[in-house]
């Protein structure tokens, strides 16, 4: 099987290394680079048309990232009868139904295991579960960069900025880390997962709040309450309604999520007959992601089909399907926004009891307009009241 790689950055070069040192049935014969990139290998070319029109190339691996020109390149590859494997979660989250339909029209495969969970075989196992079960919950740590930051802030007692710098040095974070720390990367992975689980096209907008504003004082306070902060993506289905949210969430220090360290991911699904399944592994890095791409290449080589989805289930997005408790650190003048809610003050932070997720995220936008450095986190599971997970010290009922 002859392969062309589009883009030769961290992941693309990792794919090349694994193939060059692995199964001899696979061979990289072309590497597409931008004109500004020096051609340092004989396989490198700036001529995409030559790759698309080469009948000997069976598969195109897209590792360029971003929406454009990746969207056009993937479509062209499929239309030229090439299988496509990608790690590009942004383009897959937006165009998955289109790519799948075009691949089917041209009798080729479009696989994307590496978009979600790094080296974890999450997509493959989600597809296997969805063949039998109705999946009603997807939840977990989907981003290795944010997890590394939060883990190091807690265990090494460091501030946000030096940990982010270390994450860049280790290759976990990009030069512009916004997608990781603001939650957009998790949104894309959650959209892909929910689309497969529920067989529907995901919503355009998902309530999202990242970790950009978390401080060492926040982490220290949560630790004093025996709580650990993680950035979580969660989707829940109830009948023909479903929810999606990306936000920081507090877990008991004994929970699995709290003990998922460094750049590792922990992702869970729940199905009606299988119950809970959890998947753990490295969620960022050159070779974990490249490994997932090569797994897809093996599936193509060995004609191992993936789950066939039409993404046409008429489900309704409901941002308020989940109700939970939140802790808010902000200018006290913003607390009045929650006067119609049951609230408590814990160590100068406001705990809001049992508020719908969508409502909380809308109110948080108002809070940020007054205090741009404000931070919030969901507390435990929706079934747990704040008093069960935060100690009742120095509290004053104000709502």
Q: Annotated catalytic sites, by residue?
A: 189
In terms of Cα–Cα distance, which of 85, 14, 8, 1 is closest to 290?
14
Contact present, 132 and 329 (Cβ < 8 Å)? no
Strands 316-317 and 135-141: unpaired
Cβ burial, residue 56 (10 Å; 0-12/13-18/19+): exposed
Angle at 180 between CA 175 and CA 184, to 5 degrees: 125
In terms of Cα–Cα distance, which of 301, 327, 332 is closest to 385?
327
Question: Per DSSP, what are the bridge partners of residue 247?
Answer: 232
Contact present, 216 and 158 (Cβ < 8 Å)? yes
Please state, in angstroms and rounded to a whole number, the distance separating the CA atoms of residues 391 and 382: 18
210's tokens: 């990242």
Count CB atoms within 10 A of the CB of residue 209: 24
56's tokens: 């000997």
Please state, in angstroms and rounded to a whole number, the distance separating the CA atoms of residues 144 and 186: 10
Alpha-helix residue ranges (DSSP H) falling in 182-229: 184-198, 216-224
Please state, in angstroms and rounded to a whole number, the distance separating the CA atoms of residues 113 and 274: 21
Contact present, 62 and 6 (Cβ < 8 Å)? yes
Strands 135-141 and 227-238: antiparallel
Q: Which residues of 79-111 are buried (b: 16+ CB within 10 A; e: fewer)?
A: ebebbbbbbbbbbbbbbbbbbbebbeeeebbbb
Question: Per DSSP, what are the bridge partners of residue 242?
Answer: 237, 317
């Amino acid at each position: 099987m002859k392969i062309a790689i589009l883009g030769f950055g961290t992941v693309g070069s990792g794919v090349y290394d694994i193939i060059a040192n692995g199964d001899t049935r696979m061979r990289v014969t072309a590497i597409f680079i931008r004109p500004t990139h020096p051609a340092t290998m004989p396989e490198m070319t700036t001529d995409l048309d030559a790759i698309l029109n080469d009948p000997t190339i069976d598969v195109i691996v897209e590792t360029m990232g971003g929406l454009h020109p990746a969207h056009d390149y993937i479509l062209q590859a499929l239309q030229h009868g090439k299988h496509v494997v990608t790690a590009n979660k942004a383009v897959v989250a937006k165009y998955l139904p289109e790519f799948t339909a075009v691949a089917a029209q041209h009798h080729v495969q479009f696989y994307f295991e590496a978009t979600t969970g790094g080296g974890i075989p999450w997509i493959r196992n989600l597809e296997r579960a969805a063949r039998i079960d109705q999946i009603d919950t997807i939840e977990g740590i989907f981003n290795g960069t944010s997890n590394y930051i939060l883990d190091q802030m807690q265990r090494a007692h460091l501030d946000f900025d030096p940990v982010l710098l270390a994450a860049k040095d280790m290759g976990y974070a990009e030069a512009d880390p916004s997608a990781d720390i603001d939650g957009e990367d998790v949104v894309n992975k959650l959209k892909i997962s929910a689309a497969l689980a529920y067989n529907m096209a995901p919503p355009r907008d998902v309530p999202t709040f990242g970790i950009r504003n978390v401080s060492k004082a926040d982490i220290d306070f949560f630790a004093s309450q025996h709580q650990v902060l993680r950035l979580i993506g969660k989707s829940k289905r109830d009948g023909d309604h479903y929810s999606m949210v990306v936000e920081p969430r507090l877990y008991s220090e004994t929970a699995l999520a709290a003990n998922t360290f460094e750049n590792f991911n922990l992702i869970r699904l729940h199905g009606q007959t299988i119950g809970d399944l959890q998947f753990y592994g490295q969620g960022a890095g050159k070779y974990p992601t490249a490994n997932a791409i090569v797994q897809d290449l093996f599936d193509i080589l060995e004609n191992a089909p993936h789950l066939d989805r039409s993404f046409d289930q008429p489900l309704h997005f409901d941002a308020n399907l989940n109700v939970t408790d939140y802790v808010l650190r902000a200018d006290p003048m913003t607390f009045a926004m929650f006067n119609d809610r049951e609230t408590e003050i814990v160590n100068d932070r406001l705990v809001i009891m049992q508020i719908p997720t969508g409502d909380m995220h809308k109110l948080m936008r108002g809070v940020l307009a007054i205090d741009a450095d404000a931070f919030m986190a969901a507390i435990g599971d929706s079934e747990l009241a704040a008093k069960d997970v935060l100690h009742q010290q120095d509290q004053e009922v104000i709502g």
